[in-house]
Amino acid sequence: MSKWGFAANHALPSLIGFFRLFFREPGFALRLLMARLTYFRSRKFMGPITTPNNFVIESPNELISFWSFFIERECWDEEWVRSLRTEPAPLVLDVGANAGLFTHMIWEVRPDARIAAFEPLPKMANKIAEWRNRTNAHVTIHNVAVSNFMGTADFFITDEHDTSASLAAQSAGSRPIKVSVVTLDSVVPDNPICVMKVLNAKCSTAREELSRIPGLSSLKLIQQKH
């Protein structure tokens, strides 16, 4: 799909989301819009950009993901949002956390939620830790990959901001790094989970692990669309 076709498909949710943000934070909304339009036209990134809630957008991938999560509300679904807001003590799993944007979104919806973020890239795990220190969010960071075995494995990346990094090689330009690997049932406690997000490339292994964890009757599995 051409970039103009992509823009046409995303025009309505982008317009609605922009005005929703503009009425709350007009200055930030305009700066974000200019950054997004500039990157769309010229592939030049106007950053870093600090959001009103202390997330720092430091790369084009983070800009695009922030727009998807917070403007277009790509992963937003009333069912899991309602579960998150009404669950007495929600525990949220962010598997494949990358820069922590889904974690940030959960924190904005439910600031007292406990979040377990799994991210094998050290730079991204450190970014989440820095954000946690700025916001005092209840986040436990696991600098590991998730699969159906314990140990180490090759994790394929193209750069340190790679949003498509995976235990499976995704492109000819990716390179492997060694990372620690855990199963979810080795980390997650025996209590209900409200929401879990996994990236496309990791959905299959994550789903395999779900059946092994007790107390998942209230689980909502959110799949990020990339």
How many separate domains does the chain show?
2
Residue 83 and residue 14 in one domain: no
> Which residue range(s) make up the domain with 29?
3-71
Q: Residues 141, 196: one domain?
A: yes
120 and 45 belong to one structural domain: no
Are 168 and 115 part of one and the same domain?
yes
CB 160 within 8 A of CB 121: yes
- Among the candidates 24, 54, 71, a domain finishes at 71
Mean pLDDT, to the nearest integer, of 137-155?
89
Residues 41 and 105 in one domain: no
Share of the chain above pLDDT 70, in %: 73
Q: So what's the pLDDT on residue 159? A: 63
116 lies in the same domain as 217: yes
Residue 139 has pLDDT above 80, yes or no: yes
pLDDT at residue 29 greater than cutoff 80: yes
Do 66 and 82 lie in one domain? The reply is no
Instruction: Give the single-character DSSP code of 184.
Output: G
C-alpha–C-alpha distance, residues 21 and 27, integer Å:
10
Q: How far apart are CA 164 and CA 218, in angstroms?
A: 28
Mean pLDDT within 69-97: 84
Picking from 41, 71, 101, the residue at the C-terminal end of a domain is 71
Whole-prediction pTM value? Answer: 0.81
Which of 42, 71, 100 is the last residue before a domain boundary? Answer: 71
For residues 180 and 104, state if they share a domain. Answer: yes
Same domain, 106 and 145: yes
